[in-house]
Amino acid sequence: MINQKKSLLRILPVLFLFLTVLTSCSDTMDSDVPEEVIEEEADDTEFEPTDWTVATHSNDADPDFEEVFEDNTVKRLDIVISSTRWASMLSDMTSMYGTFGTRNGGSFSDENPIFVPAEVFYEGKEWYRVGVRFKGNSSLQNSWQSGNMKLSFKLDFDEFEDDYPQIKNQRFYGFKKLSLKNNYNDRSMLREKVAADIFRNVGLASSHTAIYEVYVDHGDGPVYFGVYTMVEEVDDTVIDTQFSDNDGNLYKPDGDGASFSSGSFSEADFVKENNEDEADWSDIESLFAILHDGSRTTDPATWRTNLEKVFDTDTFLKYLATNTVIQNWDTYGRMTHNYFLYNNPENNKLTWIPWDNNEALQEGNMQGSLNLDFSDLNTAGWPLIGYLYADENYKSIYDGYVEEVTSGAFEANAMQELYTNYGDLVSPYATTEIPGYSFLNRVSDFQTAVNQLKTHATSRAAAVNAYLD
């Protein structure tokens, strides 16, 4: 079993605890980080970005998806943070979630963890004064309180451009923002990657993903933080590249209103990721009004016509079919989060974008994933599913997509081969994760989890056949 050293963590002073636990697991593997990188920041404003090129660092370059999100490989990313700034990140986390390694309950923080400047190294090149912070909600809190330092990171490559003019509009191969997900609660370390690819393969707007091994040097050399999934940010290049116009309102719903139940609308539950200065939620309010209009039962044809003026029902039904076939409990239908809505200027319709898939491809927790016929759904609580599925026209479209997903992007035999290939690819990196930076209790947990994914794909094919019959 992985020793979290909980008793030690409760005794030592917080700062000393952090430095001791982290440096004790330092990895001695070679690093691409040059020795002359300054450890203490003191006055770090005087520097020349010598590795800067248009293709690698400039916002004049188009996003290089083949470089950053290459399939069938595991790439290495190094993050170098001074010991002082690392200590400030840990202190900030302590203020939000309590002492590292201590289960003290509490709710999720309303604030994001702090950004600090750090250096990022990849393939022998340096990116300068990159904004780095911890990220996540339940995964962040639970990892921290369980004494696991494999935390998710958010990278913003020009976050500190006002402090360091040399990095104005700095990009990472065309990307301003990227997420490094820690694959929380996923011992296969594949769910985030595979689920996002399935969504894109069925034709939905969805983040690109890739597998990385991540090292963090916070003062005493590189420490292997383990296998992460690099995820494309929706408010960065997903909107820019997967839609013809990026000026529409982008929302990241979270809270009671995100259920779309009658009377639950609240501006606070529909956080704007752009156009924040425009205090206008009329597109969301219109969807609420039409969704709950009495014509749904008295004149379904009119209701559908009005609904489709403001909501991309076809995209939602395709998403719903995909999400239900592959199973994903940690999103709409069970939880009031983990999706985006984009008001696509091309048709002025709110369009559904899936997000955060580490809990997909399994029955799941809480009440578990929804049944294919939604017989276990509280329709009033989740009307976007319940009302559309109850409509004969929309149910027919949904059923068609269920069959399409199962025979295409989630075909059982193809998934078996995919899981085998990914398992072979990731295994050397997953099984060498180190205590305190891993969700594996034993090395065999990884292959067991991959085998469970294979079994899941077969069982879902059988479930779909039963449903359609």
Which pTM value belongs to this model? 0.90
Q: How far apart are CA 381 and CA 367, in angstroms?
A: 14
Model pLDDT, residue 111: 87
Contact between 388 and 324 under an 8 Å Cβ cutoff? The reply is: no
For residue 52, give the 3-state DSSP assignment: coil
Model pLDDT, residue 104: 76
For residue 116, give the 3-state DSSP assignment: strand
Q: How far apart are CA 277 and CA 280, in angstroms?
A: 9
Q: How far apart are CA 159 and CA 157, in angstroms?
A: 6
Contact between 306 and 290 under an 8 Å Cβ cutoff? The reply is: yes
- DSSP string over 62-84: PP-HHHHT-SS-EEEEEEE--HH
For residue 315, give the 3-state DSSP assignment: helix
Helix (H) or strand (E) holding 121: strand 116-122
Shortest CA distance to 328 belongs to which of 186, 173, 124? 186
Model pLDDT, residue 353: 98
Q: How far apart are CA 433 and CA 260, in angstroms?
A: 42
Model pLDDT, residue 34: 56
Query: Mind spelling out the 3-state secondary structure of 405-419?
Result: HHHCCCCHHHHHHHH
Q: Determine the distance from the C-alpha atom of residue 450 to the mean position of all C-alpha atoms in its chain, rounded to a whole number.
A: 20
Shortest CA distance to 230 belongs to which of 183, 160, 277, 264? 183
The percent of the chain in helix, strand and coil, each rounded to the nearest 5, is 40, 15, 45
Residue 179: burial class (beta carbons within 10 Å; 0-12, 13-18, 19+):
buried
Contact between 144 and 155 under an 8 Å Cβ cutoff? The reply is: no
Contact between 407 and 322 under an 8 Å Cβ cutoff? The reply is: no
pLDDT tens series, the chain, 469 aa: 444 433 333 333 333 334 433 443 444 355 566 554 444 456 799 999 999 999 999 999 999 999 999 999 999 999 999 999 999 999 999 999 999 999 876 566 678 999 999 999 999 999 999 999 999 988 999 999 999 999 999 999 999 999 999 999 999 999 999 999 999 999 999 999 999 999 999 999 999 999 999 999 999 999 999 999 999 999 999 999 999 999 999 999 999 999 999 999 999 999 999 998 888 999 999 999 999 999 999 999 999 999 999 999 999 999 999 999 999 999 999 999 999 999 999 999 999 999 999 999 999 988 999 999 999 999 999 999 999 999 999 999 999 999 999 999 999 999 999 999 999 999 999 999 999 999 999 999 999 999 999 999 999 999 999 999 9
Shortest CA distance to 400 belongs to which of 308, 467, 350, 328? 467
**Phi, psi at 143, each rounded to 5°:** -65, -45
Shortest CA distance to 382 belongs to which of 260, 256, 252? 260
List, for residues 333-362, the tens digit of each pLDDT value: 999 999 999 999 999 999 999 999 999 999
Going from N- to C-terminal start, the domains of the chain cover 6-182+206-242, 243-469
